[in-house]
Amino acid sequence: MSFAGIVYETESHDARQLEQKIEPIAKFFDDAERRVGGLAVPASLSKVHGQYLEAMALYRKASDEMLAFTKDGGRQHLIDAQGMGMTASEDLLRAGEVLWPGQYKPH
């Protein structure tokens, strides 16, 4: 998602191209949020489940903001999306420390 933004800003300046890159990403996060939300988790993992779910939701919101930019050209959408994406990455890392201590952590 960051690199779709970087390419838009530095090379293409093509909102349609950006939209085409972000749409599948937005769908991915939407699916991920629903799948993670539907998981039955033990009580001991409910807190980290909640954190993971929030991070997925934040990624989805970030992708929605980027799509909103492709519709109305409002730059604040991109700035907000970048901030959300960074927070979501950091939150995923924190949740990942519980789920995969000492291992690779997708974020």
Partner 1 sequence: MTELGLKIRLFASIVAASAMLSVLSGTAALAQAPVCSVWLIESSRFMNVPFGAFMPDRAFVPGSDKPMSNIPTVDLPVNIGVIKCGSELILYDTGWKQQEYLKMTGSDHWAPIGEQLKLLGFNAADVTKAVIGHAHWDHAGQLSDLPNAVLYVQRAELAAIEWALNYPEKHIKAINSDPGGCNRTPACGYMPLTMQEVYGKILKGQAKIVDGEMEILPGVIIHPAFRAHTAGSQLLEVPTSIGKLVFGSDAFSSYEGIRDWMVANIQQTDSVQQFLAYEQCYKITGGYEHCIAAHEPLSYTDKYPVTKNSWVALNGGRMAEIALAPGEKSRKP
Q: Which is nearer to partner 1, 6 or 40 (CB)?
A: 6
Q: Are 45 and 35 in contact (CB under 8 A)?
A: no
Instruction: Give the whole-angstrom CA distance, residue 33 versus residue 46.
Output: 15
Q: Which is nearer to partner 1, 40 or 70 (CB)?
A: 70
Which stretch, 26-34, 35-43, 45-53, 99-107, contacts partner 1 (CB under 8 A)?
99-107
**Torsion sign over Cα 15, 82, 58, 53:** positive
**The total number of residues written for the chain in this structure:** 107
Applying the rule CB under 8 A, the residues between 15 and 74 that interact with partner 1 are none
Q: Which is nearer to partner 1, 33 or 80 (CB)?
A: 80
Q: How far is CA 56 from CA 16, 47, 71, 73, 80, in A?
A: 25, 14, 23, 25, 16
Q: Which is nearer to partner 1, 38 or 75 (CB)?
A: 75
Q: Is 5 in the site for partner 1 (CB under 8 A)?
A: yes
Options 50, 71, 73, 93; binder of partner 1; rule CB under 8 A: 93
Q: Are 33 and 56 in contact (CB under 8 A)?
A: yes
Binding site for partner 1 (CB under 8 A): 2-3, 5-7, 9-10, 78-79, 82, 85-86, 89-90, 93, 97, 104-107
